[in-house]
């Protein structure tokens, strides 16, 4: 049962969007562990985690097997180890919940509504932090189409996940009291549940930010659609450059902002100086600017070195000052993906990295806080690929004068799976949280324009070489989340923590 409850949660996320199943999944987990012995609760939590992460992240297998080029049995083992590792966090949650039985008795308000949401947030924090974290599929993302979406601009993704788990606790408490005489606590729980669901209706009517119609940006998002199996081969490089250059030249125009995808140039920046200068001159001649994804290899004092500084970079060409390496109008990816971009505990785990043989897997992290990218007078808070799911990282780089959110990615690693759809859904959440339009340019899809309400305005089909042209105005003003950050989220957690220790009056 726990495995099934965990697995069905995947259908609450993109591309399925059946949001009530997230409630069913977590209600099922809580119901099964609320009165169990510690050992059995741990097994149930672990089984739930296996179902949840197997269904939700099985697509990682594509990058391991097809592009990591390892034998099928080894790929299955690596995927199994990843899922097993992730399942330890729901197991830890189950254990902690039962350890606290002495002051939060089974099926009580304290256990289900106060303690469980705090412990779930704690274990999710650990999942997103240890080994740089893997914060994929936080429960709150499933609620972008539910009444709870109104909470995103107020409390952010962590707050929405917290509110969802509180609701699940209230549901179980009410269900558990069905066969008992009604008590004031039961009536209060029902009232609280209804209030949590009804309140966002009024929030959704509030425009936290305002569209500045006096300004508009003309975007061309280049979806080169270069196959992952070919991208990093030397034979493909010239074809890739020609594809992007041709599509760009067709769309150069006055005041045009052209966005390429992550690492669209599969070579070191220092090796492509003549090509970049050519692009820079072409863009300036047409009064356009181009954001180009590339790998920045910083040469040492004696040229190429054994342990170089390599950055996953998005740089801007066509500005007022001619391009000269290294120009300052650039963003360097801060949050790197383990094994894909760096090897954690390299002395211990390097054999795994060598086995996967993933290109550009020895990178350095850029600064956590970086200046906004600027193009045609507009300011962009930028994230590369995985970073767009990290709300706190966006928050640290977001400023009141940010015009747009910008993310570039290469989801070709995951083929025609649900992974890129989930990734797009998380980008939608960022737009809703900050009340800013999100510009998303990718290699094989899903390239999209997302408005300040988190709704997709326009998108390109996957696996097609196309250009998305769209004229868009920025927004001004701040959502409560953009203004106060996680203050409301921590306030709710603090109140829950205090209520756990409030003694019942006799």
Say if residue 116's pLDDT is above 60. Answer: yes
pLDDT at res. 234:
83
Residue 174 annotated as catalytic: no
> 124, 138, 262, 387: which is the annotated catalytic residue?
262
Smallest CA-to-CA distance from 6 within 75, 130, 133, 93 is with 93
Bridge pairing between strands 404-409 and 378-384: parallel
Q: How confident is the model at residue 330 (pLDDT cuts 50, 70, 90)?
A: very high
pLDDT at res. 67:
62
Percent with pLDDT over 90 in the chain: 75
Angle of CA points 413, 417, 418, to nearest 5°: 115
Residue with tokens 């500084």: 309
Min mean pLDDT across 16-30, 345-359, 372-386, 415-429 is at 345-359
> 138, 333, 341, 433: which is the annotated catalytic residue?
333
**What is the rounded CA–CA span in Å between residue 370 and residue 332?**
8
Residue 323 and residue 310 in contact, taking contact as beta carbons nearer than 8 Å: no
Q: What is the pLDDT of residues 171-222, one digit of tens each?
A: 999 988 876 666 667 888 888 999 999 988 888 888 999 999 999 999 999 9
**What is the rounded CA–CA span in Å between residue 460 and residue 467?**
8
Residue 387 annotated as catalytic: no
pLDDT at res. 506:
43
Crossing angle of helices 234-251 and 273-285, in 10° steps, is 10
Q: How confident is the model at residue 412 (pLDDT cuts 50, 70, 90)?
A: confident
Say if residue 103's pLDDT is above 90. Answer: no
Q: What is the pLDDT of residues 35-70, one digit of tens each?
A: 999 999 999 999 999 999 999 999 988 888 776 667
* Helix and strand counts by DSSP (H, E) for the chain: 17, 15
Please tell me the pTM assigned to this model: 0.92
Q: Is the peptide bond before 347 cis (omega within 30 degrees of 0)?
A: no
Say if residue 357's pLDDT is above 60. Answer: no
**What is the rounded CA–CA span in Å between residue 287 and residue 19?**
45
Give Cα 181 to chain centroid, integer Å. Answer: 45
Output the CA–CA distances (angstroms, integers) from residue 226 to 270, 426, 440, in the order listed. 22, 24, 17
Q: How many residues does the chain have?
A: 506
Residue with tokens 């999942």: 127
Residue 124 annotated as catalytic: no
Say if residue 442's pLDDT is above 50. Answer: yes
> 256, 269, 289, 385: which is the annotated catalytic residue?
385
Beta-carbon neighbour count of residue 488 at 10 Å? 18
pLDDT at res. 347:
55
Say if residue 75's pLDDT is above 50. Answer: yes
Q: What is the pLDDT of residues 268-321, one digit of tens each?
A: 999 999 999 999 999 999 999 999 999 999 876 666 666 678 999 999 999 999
Q: What is the pLDDT of residues 118-131, one digit of tens each?
A: 999 999 999 999 88
Q: How confident is the model at residue 349 (pLDDT cuts 50, 70, 90)?
A: low
Q: What is the pLDDT of residues 140-176, one digit of tens each?
A: 999 999 999 999 999 999 999 999 999 999 999 998 8
- Compute the average pLDDT of residues 485-491: 96
pLDDT at res. 141:
97
- Compute the average pLDDT of residues 374-388: 96
**What is the rounded CA–CA span in Å between residue 245 and residue 282?**
10
Angle of CA points 320, 326, 329, to nearest 5°: 45
Q: How confident is the model at residue 326 (pLDDT cuts 50, 70, 90)?
A: confident
Q: 3-state SS of 43-69?
A: HHHHHHHHHHHHHHHCCHHHHHHHHCC
pLDDT at res. 355:
56
Say if residue 419's pLDDT is above 50. Answer: yes
What are the residues facing 472 on neighbouring strands?
Answer: 217
Say if residue 341's pLDDT is above 90. Answer: no
Phi, psi (rounded to 5 degrees) for 350: -60, -35
Q: For all residues of the chain together, what is the average pLDDT?
A: 91
């Amino acid at each position: 049962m726990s495995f099934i409850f965990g697995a069905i949660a995947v259908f609450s996320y993109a591309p399925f969007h059946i949001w009530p199943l997230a409630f069913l999944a977590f209600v099922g987990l809580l119901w099964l562990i609320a009165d169990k012995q510690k050992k059995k609760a741990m097994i149930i939590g672990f089984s739930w985690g296996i179902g949840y992460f197997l269904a939700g992240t099985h697509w990682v297998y594509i990058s391991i097997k097809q592009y990591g080029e390892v034998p099928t049995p080894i790929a299955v083992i690596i995927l199994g180890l990843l899922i097993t590792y992730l399942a330890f966090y729901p197991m830890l949650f189950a254990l902690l919940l039962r350890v606290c039985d002495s002051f939060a008795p089974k099926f009580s308000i304290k256990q289900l509504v106060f303690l469980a949401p705090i412990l779930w947030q704690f274990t999710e924090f650990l999942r997103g932090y240890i080994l740089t974290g893997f914060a994929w599929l936080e429960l709150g993302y499933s609620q972008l189409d539910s009444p709870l979406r109104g909470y995103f601009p107020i409390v952010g993704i962590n707050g929405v996940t917290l509110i969802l788990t509180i609701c699940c606790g209230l549901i179980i408490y009410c269900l558990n009291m069905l066969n008992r005489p009604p008590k004031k606590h039961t009536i209060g729980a029902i009232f609280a549940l209804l209030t949590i669901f009804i309140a966002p209706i009024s929030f959704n009517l509030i425009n936290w930010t305002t569209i500045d119609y006096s300004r508009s940006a003309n975007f061309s998002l280049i979806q080169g659609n270069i196959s992952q199996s070919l991208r990093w081969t030397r034979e493909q490089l010239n074809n890739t450059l020609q594809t992007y250059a041709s599509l760009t030249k067709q769309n150069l125009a006055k005041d045009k902002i052209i966005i390429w995808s992550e690492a669209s140039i599969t070579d070191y920046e220092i090796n492509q100086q003549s090509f970049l200068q050519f692009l820079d001159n072409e863009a300036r001649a047409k009064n356009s600017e181009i954001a180009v994804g590339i790998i920045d290899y910083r040469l040492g004092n004696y040229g190429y070195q054994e342990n170089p500084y390599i950055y996953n970079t998005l740089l801007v060409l066509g500005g007022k000052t001619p391009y000269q390496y290294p120009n300052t109008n650039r963003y360097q990816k801060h949050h790197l993906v383990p094994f894909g971009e760096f090897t954690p505990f390299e002395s211990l785990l390097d054999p795994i990295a060598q086995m996967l043989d993933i290109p550009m897997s020895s990178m350095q992290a850029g600064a956590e806080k970086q200046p906004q990218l600027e193009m045609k007078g507009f300011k962009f808070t930028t994230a590369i690929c995985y970073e767009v799911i990290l709300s706190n990282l966006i928050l640290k780089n977001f400023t009141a004068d940010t015009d747009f959110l910008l993310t570039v990615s290469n989801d070709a690693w995951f083929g025609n799976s649900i992974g890129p759809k989930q990734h797009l859904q998380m980008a939608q959440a960022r737009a809703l949280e900050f009340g800013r339009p999100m510009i998303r340019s990718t290699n094989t899809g899903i390239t999209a324009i997302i408005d300040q309400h988190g709704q997709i305005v326009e998108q390109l089909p996957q696996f097609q070489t196309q250009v998305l042209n769209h004229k868009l105005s920025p927004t001004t003003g701040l959502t409560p989340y953009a203004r106060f950050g996680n203050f409301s989220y921590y306030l709710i957690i603090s109140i829950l923590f205090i209520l756990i220790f409030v003694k019942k009056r006799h």
